[in-house]
A and B are shown apart, each in its own frame.
Chain A
Amino acid sequence: EIVLTQSPGTVSLSPGERAILSCRASQSVASNCLAWYRQKPGQAPRLLIYGIFSRATGIPDRFSGSGSGTDFTLTISRLDPEDSAVYHCQQYGTAPITFGQGTRLEIK
């Protein structure tokens, strides 16, 4: 199975700054099948990005995805306190579907 490793484990930034979250795959992710989710405490995950680059409905352009092959990035610009959450990456191109362990983003 494809193992996804997210870094950093935890990051603390100030409002207005930019966050760069990494997701590295143990082998190449097929057909651009990489998604990102945000999960706030006690809530279900919410889809942010799919197909590496495409924003989900209602997601502002402060959120952008990039990468290819085995290295992917979620960039969140102009951080807002509401962005405090755990961010998960997911690959769905090769069975079984797998998720990374998550990156916790704290807004100071």
Chain B
Amino acid sequence: EVQLVESGGGLVQPGGSLRLSCVVSGFSFSPNWMSWVRQAPGKGLEWVANIKPDGGVENYVDAVKGRFTISRDNGKSSLYLQMNSLTVEDTAVYYCATGSGWHDYWGRGTPVTVSS
């Protein structure tokens, strides 16, 4: 069974930082692109970032460029999202997902709330 389990979300003040993690099991992690997708309360889905299997290419939505960094550890089948300079607009549930195009598998998400 494929499982993606996110962690690291929580309440943070504007300007603060968080690091999200996603551990993947039951899936061949290292040869596959991985992505982060978020969903603000009551809103649609928004692609955030993706990363090539070897970590050599990263892509970001304009809204997070320069503030967020996606990374991975293939030895630990883990995906990360370092989020800096957070704003209230970053409040959302953050999902990790397989693939760089369509997403076959998703985690249950970790909520991030940016508020003073």
Interface of A with B (CB < 8 Å)? 33, 35, 37, 43-47, 50-51, 56-57, 88, 90, 92, 95-102
Q: Which of B4-59 contact A (CB under 8 A)?
A: 43-47, 50, 59
- A-side interface mostly: loop
Which residues from A are CB-within-8-Å of B95? 44-45
Assembly CA distance A99 to B106 (angstroms): 15
Q: Does B67 contact A (CB under 8 A)?
A: no
Which residues from A are CB-within-8-Å of B44? 88, 99-102
Contact A46 B106 (CB under 8 A): yes
Q: Which of B75-116 contact A (CB under 8 A)?
A: 95, 100-104, 106-109
- Chain A's nearest CB lies how many Å from the CB of B1? 13
Which of B45, B59, B61, B62 makes the CB contact (< 8 A) with A88? B45
**Chain B: interface residue total (CB-CB under 8 A):** 19
Which residues from B are CB-within-8-Å of A47? 102-104
Which of B46, B102, B109 makes the CB contact (< 8 A) with A92? B102
What are some 28 contacts across the A-B interface (CB < 8 A)?
A: A33-B101, A35-B101, A37-B103, A44-B95, A44-B108, A44-B109, A45-B103, A45-B106, A47-B103, A47-B104, A50-B102, A57-B104, A88-B45, A90-B45, A92-B100, A92-B101, A92-B102, A95-B59, A96-B59, A96-B61, A97-B47, A99-B44, A99-B45, A99-B46, A99-B47, A101-B43, A101-B44, A102-B45
Which of A56, A96, A98, A102 makes the CB contact (< 8 A) with B104? A56
- Chain A's nearest CB lies how many Å from the CB of B33? 11
Which residues from B are CB-within-8-Å of A46? 106
Assembly CA distance A35 to B101 (angstroms): 9
- Chain A's nearest CB lies how many Å from the CB of B75? 25
Assembly CA distance A102 to B42 (angstroms): 11
- Further contacts, 4 of them, CB under 8 A, given A35-B103, A96-B62: A35-B101, A44-B107, A47-B102, A92-B101
Which residues from B are CB-within-8-Å of A96? 47, 59, 61-62
Which of B61, B62, B102 makes the CB contact (< 8 A) with A90? B102
